Amino acid sequence: MSATLMEQRIESLLNEGKKLFIPYVMCGDGGFEKTGDLIRVLESAGASIIEIGIPFSDPIADGPTIQAAGQRALDDGVTLKKILSFLKTLPPRHDVPRIIMTYLNPIVQYGLDAFFKELNDAYVSGVIIPDLPLEEYDMISSYTRDNDIAIIPLVAPSTTPDRIERMTDKAKGFIYTVTVNGTTGARQGFAEELTNRLESIKSQTNLPVVAGFGISTKEHIDLLTQHCDGVVVGSRIVELANDGDYESIKALVGSL
Amino acid sequence: MNYNMPDEKGYFGKHGGRFVPETLMPALIELEKNFRLYIEDETFNRELTYYLKQYVGRESPLYFAERLTEHCGGAKIYLKREDLNHTGAHKINNALAQVLLTKRMGKNKIVAETGAGQHGVATATAAALFGMECTIFMGEEDIKRQRLNVFRMGLLGAKVESVTSGSKVLKDAVNEALKYWVTNLSDTHYIMGSALGPHPYPEMVREFQSVIGKETKQQIYEQEGQLPDTIIACVGGGSNAIGMFHPFIEDEGIELIAVEAAGKGVETSEHAATLTKGQYGVLHGNAMYLLQDDAGQVHEVYSMSAGLDYPGIGPEHCHLKDMGRLKYDSATDDEAVQAFKTLSELEGIIPALESAHAIAHGLKLAPTMEKGSILVINLSGRGDKDVHQISELLEVN
């Protein structure tokens, strides 16, 4: 699915009055068969977009849960090459788009040209690259343009308004707002500053605004979706998947 | 040759840049602004020079190692005595300068990573001097092999956080220190200990370490009336080497040699020889040569020397290699231990295991150089911290 099609899909969901639920999956954690099952469960349960995580040895934006999941996958010999082959065998159901979250080094080593060319065949519409800030987008922008792949930018609490504007110019799909200055992983609650900030970012861009990092409960989801277009749930899904607790996953996805 | 690196985006050729999460970008932009302001500021420089002289004990001697020279029977060997600095290594040059910068940025907390513990001790020292709170991340494996430095950091009032993720060494300590910084941006400055990381760190650390090369240039003129033929330094991340080499880059006739840790041999999988064996990649905020597998996962590397046990190398070294300006070679654990003993016996100087790699290469190279030619070796640190490790090793053998 191209980035353009993903944008149309997002727009129609939002026009129906729905909010976006974007679960994160550490690809290959527990084996590809398990990842495949998990993706099917998420698609059926009503996920809007699925974020596919690529394991990396040095994940500086991730907390302990996702880092441990990535390490399990790496210990099992999971590579980007195997992940792309796997994704090509698994066409999405229910028109649920996929995006990839990866650190830069695995795709640099794979070859940027080859990586972005293969994303369409792997049914991937966009990329989130946590260690590629605005200043370095040029490194990939010709590839994302040529293959119609969305660059989904991360906006942090420390991000200034002028940076948000420059990111929005280059972004497609949606804006991923990081809830806290910190790493991924479950948290107790969120400061009031966050809801104000989400409103403020929404007023600065025409793209949908999604919140992520530390969102783990129905209460978090209910609160934040009052102020933005959707949520990413990562560590909590990874944890439940590792426990094999698919019922709780379905309940969480279905809670929106 | 006219050399002026990095460019405005922090690139040294294709290396360098700023590959960090968005959360850190505003802090890096702010840091760069302050660095540019204060590096030109007279009061800042006067204060830095004062502490480098009265507290660190600079300038450090450039010592003619007569017995080592006789032993080798070739070039005249000079040792730049960074081992005589307060805290025992070159690391204090950078740590002190960055703490002074931290003070001016209105922050009062410091976080840093450490491998051998030398940068951790230097940072804890500078933080104590200016009454700042200090947290040091150190790999669990390194804590085991560098107990003395862990104890010193504690004495100096720093909190040492043991890192148990990944391979539990320096690279993992950098990961955790970066995560800590992301979470504590408002009052905390991150003091990167090596000449790597996101822009402006490689340039900033180089500037604060280049006092080594500047002094050397003046001292060798005073003693020999000419520049050296060859300069050798050990490289892990590369801060002592870039500090020594940078003032000599435009002097094209001078051979600059970086010595990496070959561990058990570069033909084995247990080494840390990044310039020799690494491939282009991105880690810890910058593009550089990196020891990694085909899938882009960062290798566990090995050296008996905790300070060289790092899978990447500063971006400027990578670029100098690409330019052909920098030569590189490596020394194994065994060669470093032999050099450690030789320097102790012949000169009464116990070098740090890291610096012993540079000495080891000097011992090989000096005999092949013409009599009367000049070889400078950067003795980046002293070996007190390594005595325990070496004594265990010699007992086993």
Q: How far apart are CA A250 and CA A180, in angstroms?
A: 26
Residue window 96-155, chain A: list those with CB within 8 Å of chain B: 103-110, 130-136, 153-155
- Name chain B contacts of A130, Cβ cutoff 8 Å: 21-22
Residue B90 CB neighbour total at 10 angstroms: 33
Active site residue A33: no
Q: Return the pLDDT at B396.
A: 72
How large is the ipTM? Answer: 0.95
Residue A126 CB neighbour total at 10 angstroms: 27
What are the residue numbers of the active site of B?
A: 91, 113, 380
- For B196, the token pair is 């790597």
Q: Which of A56, A58, A180, A183 to mutate to test the interface with B (most CBs of B within 10 A)?
A: A58
A10 CB contacts (<8 Å, ≥6 apart)?
A20, A48, A49, A97, A173, A174, A208
Q: Kindly determine whether residue B282 and residue A80, on different chains, have CB atoms separated by under 8 Å.
A: no
Q: Return the pLDDT at B116.
A: 85
Cβ atoms of residues A112 and A144 within 8 Å: no
Burial A140-176 (b: 16+ CB within 10 A, else e): beebbeebbbbbbbbbbbbbeeebbeebbeebbbbbb
| Regions in chain B scoring below 50 on pLDDT | none
CB pairs A-B closer than 8 Å: 120
Interface check for A22 against chain B (CB to CB < 8 A): the answer is no
Q: What is the pLDDT along chain A (256 residues), one digit of tens a residue?
A: 899 999 999 999 999 999 999 999 999 999 999 999 999 999 999 999 999 999 999 999 999 999 999 999 999 999 999 999 999 999 999 999 999 999 999 999 999 999 999 999 999 999 999 999 999 999 999 999 999 999 999 999 999 999 999 999 999 999 999 999 899 987 778 888 999 999 999 999 999 999 999 999 999 999 999 999 999 999 999 999 999 999 999 999 998 8
- Name chain B contacts of A104, Cβ cutoff 8 Å: 19, 282
Indicate the DSSP class of residue A21. E
Q: Return the pLDDT at B4.
A: 96
Q: Return the pLDDT at B397.
A: 67
The residue among B326, B339, B206, B309 whose CA lies nearest residue B258 is B326
- For B269, the token pair is 């999988």
Dump pLDDT digits (tens) for B88-146: 999 999 999 999 999 999 999 999 999 989 999 999 999 999 999 999 999 998 998 88
Q: Return the pLDDT at A187.
A: 78
- Select from B182, B285, B296 the Cβ nearest to the Cβ of A109: B296
Cβ atoms of residues B328 and B193 within 8 Å: no
| Closest chain A CA to residue B288 | A105
Q: Return the pLDDT at A87.
A: 98
- Name chain B contacts of A187, Cβ cutoff 8 Å: none
Active site residue A51: yes
Q: Return the pLDDT at A52.
A: 98
| Burial class of residue A117, CB neighbours in 10 A (0-12, 13-18, 19+) | middle
**Looking up tokens 């282009």, which residue turns up?**
B280
- Grouping H, G, I as helix, E, B as strand and the rest as coil, residue B255 is strand
- Grouping H, G, I as helix, E, B as strand and the rest as coil, residue A44 is helix
Nearest-CA distance B64 → chain A (Å)? 44
- Select from B27, B172, B179 the Cβ nearest to the Cβ of A183: B179
Q: From residue B246, give the alpha-carbon distance in Å to each of B89, B205, B242, B290.
A: 18, 11, 5, 22
Q: Return the pLDDT at A191.
A: 82
Catalytic choice (A7, A29, A51, A229): A51
- Select from B179, B282, B294 the Cβ nearest to the Cβ of A105: B282
Burial B223-237 (b: 16+ CB within 10 A, else e): eeeebbbbbbbbbbb
